[in-house]
Amino acid sequence: MLLRTAFQLQSAKVSARKILRALAELKAELPDELPLSGIGITSVGETVAVRSGQAQWDADSGQHLLDFEVAPIRGDVAFLDSAPRNQAKRDEQAAEWFALAEELAETDAVGAQQAYRKVLELAPSPHCHAYTNLGVLLCATETRCDETLSVFDSALQHFPEDALLHFNRAVVLEELKRYDAAEAAYQRCIELDPTHADAHFNLARLSEIRGDKQGLVRHLSAYRRLVG
């Protein structure tokens, strides 16, 4: 029985060394009341697999194996788990809503805002561009600055290293006359992107408002260097 099993495993491209080691260990570990003739031995890839009843394990390591054998099915496709399909569908829907939002942005700001919110609702993972574009649209409406700030704050929870989000958040804070917070946000933008000329320009303007002549000269010089 050992020879027959070894020959079958060798035919399945399992190495002779692995066959001998697995069968020897298997015979040594099995109780006397369960001889080799009472179990099934086969190959799973290059693994020598043992089956007794519903249990299946690796003869070499003793690790249990899960049976993922797929039975023939009728039809073209069978989904064992709907999660991948649902995620792909949500990705597709989010992309469609994003494309619609971009089309509406020039002619229907309210419709574009609703479409961007739909993207954020449907996208399986946070959508940086939807957050950014929604915030910019809301920022154009001066009476919705608090709501705009909330959008950028939410976005930065997912994308804390995005320089543009920090810049846009700083603009909103400036509109709300929260100058200290705006300055900190512009500075963070420059830390992440030293070439962000507009952040230097806005910091120069803030410095002028606050009577900081040294800051005004420093940031205005940096702005001119970057755009020149």
Bridging pattern class, strands 55-58 and 40-44 = unpaired
Judge contact between 153 and 189, C-beta under 8 A: no
pLDDT value of position 71:
47
Measured between alpha carbons, how far apart are the two ends of the chain, in Å? Answer: 85
Q: For residue 169, is pLDDT > 70?
A: yes
Q: What is the CATH number of domain 126-223?
A: 1.25.40.10
Query: Domains of the chain: which residue ranges?
Result: 2-58, 126-223
pLDDT tens figures, 9-34: 666 666 666 666 776 666 666 655 55
Q: Residue 51 region, left (φ>0) first, then alpha (ψ -120 to 50), else beta?
A: beta
- Write the pLDDT tens digit of every residue in 41-69: 666 666 666 665 556 666 666 665 555 44
CA-CA distance, 227 to 225, in Å (whole number)? 6
- Average pLDDT in the chain: 80
The sheet carrying 55-58 orders its strands as 40-44, 47-52, 55-58
Residue-level length of the chain: 228
Neighbours of 135 (CB within 10 A): 24
Q: Single out the residue of 198, 141, 137, 142 nearest to residue 166, CA to CA.
A: 198
Longest CA span, the chain:
95
- Judged against a pLDDT cut of 50, whether residue 78 lies above it is answered with no
Q: Are 138 and 148 in contact (CB under 8 A)?
A: yes
What tokens were used for 203?
């910091």
Looking at the predicted structure, is the pLDDT value of residue 72 above 60? no
Burial class (CB in 10 A: 0-12, 13-18, 19+), 117: middle
Indicate yes or no: pTM above 0.85.
Answer: no
Give the tokens for residue 191: 């830390």
Nearest to 93 by CA among 133, 128, 127: 127
pLDDT, residue 125, reads 87
